[in-house]
Amino acid sequence: MNAACTRAGRAPESVTLLAVSKTHPPAAIEAAVAAGLRSFGESKIQEARAKIPQCPGNLRWHFIGHLQSNKCREAVEMFSLIQGVDSLALAQEINKRAGQAAKTMPVLLEVNVAGEASKFGYRPEQLLADWDALNALPRLEIHGLMTVPPYVTDPEKARPHFARLRELKAVCEARLGAPLPHLSMGMSGDYEVAIEEGATIVRIGTALFGKRQYGALKATSEAAD
């Protein structure tokens, strides 16, 4: 990360390493905390419900999966940032639940920059069409954009998608009349390119924790029941 920041002429502290801890047990998170990490990403409400209470209380938790409307109340309660808001209807439900919780909810808007049918996320033109309505929701704070580009073995092939998200953020900032602080993009295989293209949050799982630990997750969930 430091090397990518140097190449891009950026300060290393301008990029947050979000440790994607989904499927990994609390012991793995504790080891990451001991190494200095404080921001973690989960993608399943049920898993987070079981895991978060078993982890240190001074961590920041991001929800990074596809959020269903019926899980918005819990997401608002458990997470400090919801990444992946991909429709006006979902944003409205989060706004409603945040109001009921008497809090303001920071969110990132997910954009399907490649137009993949298998992926969630706003189409860029629909995001711009919904922008004013999204920005008018009183309990939502739009902190930026996020994307999951197509899987590629050559990280350079992801660069155009990251550049497109950066350009879209600039359009949104012009509409808003204020800067948006975050671009969440880049994972274990392409985070350096993402940083070079302006990422402020990189979501790293495999490179930190290794392969996903589904067996450990099952044991953790059963212990919490």
Q: What is the pLDDT of residue 118?
A: 87
Between the alpha carbon of residue 91 and those of residues 22, 72, 94, 142, the distances in Å are 23, 9, 5, 10
The residue-averaged pLDDT of 33-54 equals 96
Residue showing tokens 């155009």: 160
Alpha-carbon Rg for the chain, nearest whole angstrom, is 17
For 21, other C-beta atoms within 10 Å of its C-beta total 28
Reported confidence tier of residue 212, pLDDT bands at 50, 70, 90: confident
Residues 167, 172, 177: CA angle, nearest 5 degrees:
125
Beta bridge partners of 85: 109
| pLDDT tens for each residue of 67-99 | 999 999 999 999 999 999 999 999 999 999 999
User: Residue type for 49, please?
Assistant: R
Does an H or E element contain 144, and which?
A: strand 140-146
Give all domains of the chain, ordered by start, each with its CATH number.
Answer: 2-224 (3.20.20.10)
User: Residue type for 223, please?
Assistant: A
Reported confidence tier of residue 218, pLDDT bands at 50, 70, 90: low
